Amino acid sequence: MTAITPTTPKATPAQVFSTFWAMVRKELTVLSRYPVDFIASFFQLFIIVAIFTLAGLTFSETGQATEGTSGVVVYGFIMFMFVSDTLWTIGFNVRHEQVQGTLEQLYLSPASKFASLIARVTHLLIWTSLLSLMSALIMKAMLGSLPVYNLGRALFFLVFILLGTFGIGFAFAALTLRVKETANSLANLFQFAFMILGACFFPFGALPEWMQSISRLLPPAHGVDLFRSTLMNYPPGFPELASVQTETTVVIVFGLVMPVLGYWLFRRAEHHAREKGSLGEF
Amino acid sequence: MSAITLPNRTPGKPGPAALISAMFATVRARLLIVSRYKGQLLNEIVTPIVLAAMPILLGRATAGDRASEVFLANTGTANYVGFMLIGSAVFVIVSNAFWHVANWLRWEMETGTLESIYLTPTHRVFVAAGTGIYSTSRSTVGAFVAYLIGSAIMGINPFQGDLLIAFLFILFGLIPLFGMTLLYGALVLKLKEANAMLNLMQWVVNFLMGVFFPITVMPAAAQFIAKLFPPTWMTNGVRSAMLGVGYFFNEWYFDLAVLWFFMLAAPMLGVWAFKKVENSVRRNEGVGQF
């Protein structure tokens, strides 16, 4: 009698894509069931923009923002929205599946885990792109002027920045599997740290020198700096953290290395959780 | 055999001591739960400092060395750091009040205990009041510590101006604030999954209160709406007492009198709205559904 050795089925690229698309469709369907959320998030964006615009104008002698200031604030805000979505959504979704009790079931299916992770943030990127466009238009109307140069190059950088933050998103999801409920508080703290060290609402020059030194160690901060400097056509003093060449290198390496590293960390955390039998625990 | 005489009390009607005991049991339970989440408490101190830091840094970058001078011309005080820190500290108290009441209701719904609260002899108002006291103590202490730490980091004197009047504005502002939280509660009772709406309202509150700017920079219609909102008077009162930005009616006692009016009006409006929604929900799907 011969023993049957079960082999792990390997998903073909078509199957991986099919899983990815099914997950994106599922997320979009869930999202479409909450129309109030759509409307609320749009108005929320409008109010946040108004608040920071009015706050900025209390420091203006003319009651109008300069092109430089509006570029820094608007593009910093857009980067903040993209980076926040990409960073936390994967981890939050993993946590949500844990709480709902469906995470363990997902791991029992032969569907690609990678595609399932990526799909959790894809639908949000579509929505965030729309919101970013709207916020740029609103802020332009409120602030008077907004510099738009080198759009193609800026979008090229944006792709690499997002790839890199996907990687951090995987790493954060790994952390979520380990620390469970504490991940919420950690996400808030990281987000606040990014708001300040990433200088999303002001130039890096406003930070004390020691904080700028920390910012220089953070690739997403270089991403914010390079993205907005490019759209502002590199005015004097921009980019602030390093030269264009250095920041371009940092952003590209970040975009290529971080997803691999983040996914590796996620697989390790997942393996650890499966061994301990804590995947479904929350 | 002699009959046992029971104390003279209507069955099912708890006395005042029992009601107060239930209220403080709620406070204790909620404080005990939150003490297990130290990260959340740390967040509450970090949040107002980070919120205030953003416009402060933006202002320094925009106006440079003349930041105080320009800010004085636009707002009435040169102390922009104090202005922003007071704004964000009061905002955290206000925002937490709304969230704690809304989250409490939602949590009871999800854990299936809301209907049980309606069935107990203790009136739900006392359980809600317990949540209110918990929220006030938690966020007032958090906001005060954040204000002190923020002032130390940014190098300003936290104790300036008329502190007693500032305290009165906070004290009298809390009552209408908790009256208004019932409106949030009504929203949660009606919509159930109301997180997006609550998020939006949090920013609307921030805007109306003038957390980062004086409301005089808003259009006239927006100013009128902002003045119907009690926390606007609370924030401006504290700022005027400590930084001298100017009361809406020039004297502190007139502004405080307006808060006294809100102390009557806001709870009445909140209770009316909550009862209306509550009755409708109880008649239809019941309060236990979520």
- A172 neighbors A193 (Cβ within 8 angstroms): no
A56–B71 CB contact, under 8 Å: no
A57–B46 CB contact, under 8 Å: no
pLDDT at B195: 74
Share of chain B above pLDDT 70, in %: 94
Chain B partners within 8 Å of A31 (Cβ)? none
The closest CB to that of A59, out of B63, B197, B214, belongs to B63
Chain B partners within 8 Å of A211 (Cβ)? none
B200–A43 CB contact, under 8 Å: yes
Tell me the average pLDDT across B69-77: 91
Chain A partners within 8 Å of B80 (Cβ)? 58-59
Tell me the average pLDDT across A72-77: 86
pLDDT at B290: 63
Q: How far is Cα A12 from Cα A17, in angstroms, rounded to an integer? A: 9
Tell me the average pLDDT across A243-272: 94
| Local structure of A198: helix, strand or coil | coil
Q: A23-32, A36-45, A244-253, B115-124: which range is least confident on average?
A: A36-45
A58–B74 CB contact, under 8 Å: yes
Q: Which long-range contacts (CB under 8 A, 24 or more apart) does B119-123 make?
A: B121/B12, B121/B13, B121/B14, B122/B14, B122/B18, B122/B19, B122/B22, B123/B19
pLDDT at A254: 96
Domain boundaries, chain B: 18-282
| Residues written for chain B | 290
Task: Please determine, for residue B42, whether its predicted confidence score (pLDDT) is greater than 60.
Answer: yes
- A123 neighbors A207 (Cβ within 8 angstroms): no
Tell me the average pLDDT across A216-227: 95
Tell me the average pLDDT across A145-172: 91
Q: For B227-265, how does the pLDDT look when each residue is reduced to its tens digit (9 = 90+)?
A: 999 999 999 999 999 999 999 999 999 999 999 999 999
Task: Please determine, for residue A275, whether its predicted confidence score (pLDDT) is greater than 80.
Answer: yes
Alpha carbon separation from A73 to A136, A211, B39, B190 (Å, rounded): 10, 19, 30, 38
pLDDT at B117: 84
Chain B partners within 8 Å of A196 (Cβ)? 50, 53-54, 57
- A251 neighbors A157 (Cβ within 8 angstroms): yes
Alpha helices in chain A, H assignment, sequence order: 13-32, 35-57, 67-100, 103-108, 113-143, 151-179, 182-197, 209-216, 219-231, 244-276
Tell me the average pLDDT across A16-29: 85
Q: How far is Cα B79 from Cα B71, in angstroms, rounded to an integer? A: 8
Chosen from A30, A34, A58 to mutate, greatest number of chain B CBs within 10 A = A58
Chain B partners within 8 Å of A37 (Cβ)? 196
Of A27-36, B95-104, B221-230, which one has max mean pLDDT? B221-230
Residue B111 buriedness (CB in 10 A; 0-12 / 13-18 / 19+) = exposed
The closest CB to that of B50, out of A52, A54, A192, belongs to A192
Query: For A56, what's the count of Cα atoms within 13 Å in the CB-facing half-sphere?
Result: 26
A44–B199 CB contact, under 8 Å: yes
Using only C-alpha atoms, chain B has a radius of gyration, in whole angstroms, of: 21
pLDDT class for A224, splitting at 50, 70, 90?
very high
Alpha carbon separation from B1 to A102, A124, B4, B199 (Å, rounded): 63, 77, 9, 65
Tell me the average pLDDT across A27-33: 81
Task: Please determine, for residue A56, whether its predicted confidence score (pLDDT) is greater than 90.
Answer: no
| Residue A157 burial (CB count, 10 A) | 22
Task: Please determine, for residue B1, whether its predicted confidence score (pLDDT) is greater than 60.
Answer: no
Tell me the average pLDDT across B126-155: 92
Amino acid at B121: P
Q: What is the mean pLDDT of chain B?
A: 87
Chain A partners within 8 Å of B71 (Cβ)? 58-59
Q: For A194-215, how does the pLDDT look when each residue is reduced to its tens digit (9 = 90+)?
A: 889 999 888 999 898 999 999 9
Task: Please determine, for residue B10, whether its predicted confidence score (pLDDT) is greater than 70.
Answer: no
Tell me the average pLDDT across B205-230: 90
Q: How far is Cα B124 from Cα B82, in angstroms, rounded to an integer? A: 39
pLDDT at B12: 65
pLDDT at A177: 84
Q: How far is Cα B42 from Cα A90, in angstroms, rounded to an integer? A: 24
Q: Which residues contact B247 (CB under 8 A, 6 or more apart)?
A: B236, B237, B240, B254, B255
Chain-centroid distance, C-alpha A66: 28
pLDDT at A6: 58
Residue B103 buriedness (CB in 10 A; 0-12 / 13-18 / 19+) = middle
pLDDT at A91: 80
Q: How far is Cα A5 from Cα A9, in angstroms, rounded to an integer? A: 12
Residue with tokens 């005042």: B16
A58–B80 CB contact, under 8 Å: yes
A54–B57 CB contact, under 8 Å: no
**Nearest residue on chain A to B49, alpha-carbon basis:** A192
pLDDT class for B5, splitting at 50, 70, 90?
low
pLDDT at A2: 60
Predicted-complex ipTM score: 0.80
pLDDT at B266: 92
Domain boundaries, chain A: 45-276
